[in-house]
Amino acid sequence: MLGFAILARDGAARAGRLTTAHGVIETPCFMPIGTAATVKAMTPEGVAATGARLILGNTYHLMLRPGAERVAVLGGLHKFMNWPHAILTDSGGFQVMSLAALRTISEDGVAFRSHIDGSKHLLTPERSVDVQRLLGADITMAFDECTPFPSERPAVEASMELSMRWAERSRRAFVERPGHGIFGIVQGGVHADLRQRSAGKLTEIGFDGYAIGGLAIGEGQATTLAMTEATVPSLPEDRPRYLMGVGKPADLVGAVKRGVDMFDCVLPTRSGRTAQAFTRAGTLNLRNARHADDPTPLDRECRCPACVGFTRAYLHHLVKAGEILAAMLLTTHNLTYYADLMRAMREAILAGNLAQFEAT
């Protein structure tokens, strides 16, 4: 089982401490995405230097390549990728949703063809949980169907109910180990009553943490936050809450304010590979010619190597020249910015002034 303690509250917001087999994570926290056992353009040491102590891997991708059994023989995902800190693995539900023409959903699970070589696979709740065990994930996610948006309410309800049946099977399949846990995933689309029903069912089953899934897939920020606000009160107070796939800075602040503890998103790493930098003064596009002669750092308050050692002019040059170092430095900067944002929110909650922080 995972340990979780709430150290302070400021309104609905919480500052907490999550204890896993591979270390302690201070919450609220942001998880960099390491889908295929790597955070793109980063070394493990570089990821840790940003302040991250929990990253996300993916069941679907890792079971196809290099294979969960192979990773297990080689010592598990932590050893395989040289990451000594905690790992959460997504169950693969979101990825199989995106396959569309390549998959068939049934009560048993999802039959699909690999996007890599066309080979046939069946991903069931039991297989998903077992793959995550073989990988050695500190936090396992229950297998679910991520309902596409938009969908009609009857389809959303049927999908949610299927996910709840899969959640029961996932929980039964999970092998208890010290410092390891399994999270259930709330579904229900943009319907508050369905999400509350889903949260109630997951609480009845009993998980080590609870995720809010099926959002940030096209419904817009206002709806995302509204569904989060409608769901959180139905979740257990003493367990961590994880809003999946949500990652614009304003989204993070809004969700922390509503009681969410954990986040993941491809945005900071993907943006780093596409010349976008998040700063305290707003988002920068390093492709823009206005940076060509700028001798200032990306962000004067940032501690990352890109800001300490290089100018906007140099980063612009790297981007225009197509140099790999551009992606490395900008990704490092973005993940540092996100880690610092989460730390600042945590400190604000501990001090009881999150509202003032949000206003600045």
Smallest CA-to-CA distance from 27 within 3, 1, 57 is with: 3
Report helix, strand and coil shares of the chain as percent, to nearest 5: 45, 20, 35
Q: Let me know the angle formed at the C-alpha of 217 by 213 and 221, rounded to the nearest 5 degrees.
A: 90
What is the spatial distance between Cα 346 and Cα 352, in angstroms, rounded to a whole number?
A: 10
What's the token pair of residue 204? 């009845």
Residue 340 pLDDT > 80 = yes
State the CATH architecture for 3-264: Alpha-Beta Barrel (3.20)
Whole-number average pLDDT of the chain: 96
Question: Which alpha helices (DSSP H) does the chain contain, by range?
Answer: 44-50, 59-64, 68-73, 77-81, 93-99, 125-135, 153-173, 192-205, 221-231, 249-257, 267-273, 305-309, 312-321, 324-351, 354-359
* Contacts with 360 (C-beta within 8 Å, 6 or more apart), sequence order: none
- Helix count and strand count (H, E) for the chain: 15, 16
Residue 96 pLDDT > 80 = no
Residue 150 pLDDT > 80 = yes
* 101 C-beta neighbours (distance < 10 Å), count: 6
DSSP code of 33? B
What's the token pair of residue 180? 């390891």
Residue 171 pLDDT > 90 = yes
Question: Pick the catalytic residue: 10, 130, 144, 264?
Answer: 264
What is the spatial distance between Cα 15 and Cα 17, in angstroms, rounded to a whole number?
A: 7
pLDDT band, very low/low/confident/very high, at 161 (cuts 50, 70, 90):
very high
What's the token pair of residue 238? 């003493």
Domain range annotation of the chain: 3-264, 266-355
Q: H or E segment at 18?
A: strand 13-20
Between β-strands 23-27 and 29-31, what pairing exists: parallel, antiparallel or unpaired?
Answer: unpaired
DSSP sequence for 129-173: HHHHHHHT-SEEE-------SS--HHHHHHHHHHHHHHHHHHHHH
Burial class (CB in 10 A: 0-12, 13-18, 19+), 72: middle
Q: What mean pLDDT is predicted for residues 290-316?
A: 98
Q: Let me know the angle formed at the C-alpha of 89 by 84 and 92, rounded to the nearest 5 degrees.
A: 155
Query: Which residues face 139 on adjacent strands?
Result: 88, 181
Residue 278 pLDDT > 70 = yes
Query: What pLDDT digit, counting tens, does each position of 33-88 carry?
Result: 999 999 999 999 999 999 999 999 999 999 999 999 999 999 999 999 999 999 99
CB of 235 closer than 8 Å to CB of 199: yes
Tell me the whole-structure pTM to 2 decimals. 0.97
CB of 32 closer than 8 Å to CB of 335: yes
pLDDT confidence of residue 115: 87
Smallest CA-to-CA distance from 335 within 18, 50, 9, 5 is with: 50
* SS3 of residue 320 by DSSP: helix
Percent of the chain with pLDDT over 90: 93
Question: Pick the catalytic residue: 10, 90, 144, 261?
Answer: 90
* Contacts with 98 (C-beta within 8 Å, 6 or more apart), sequence order: none
pLDDT band, very low/low/confident/very high, at 148 (cuts 50, 70, 90):
confident
What's the token pair of residue 262? 């954990």
Smallest CA-to-CA distance from 148 within 90, 228, 93 is with: 93
Q: How many CA atoms lie within 13 A of 199 on its CB side?
A: 25
Query: What pLDDT digit, counting tens, does each position of 232-267 carry?
Result: 999 999 999 999 999 899 999 999 999 999 999 999
* 149 C-beta neighbours (distance < 10 Å), count: 16
Active site residue 238: no
pLDDT confidence of residue 100: 64
Active site residue 251: no
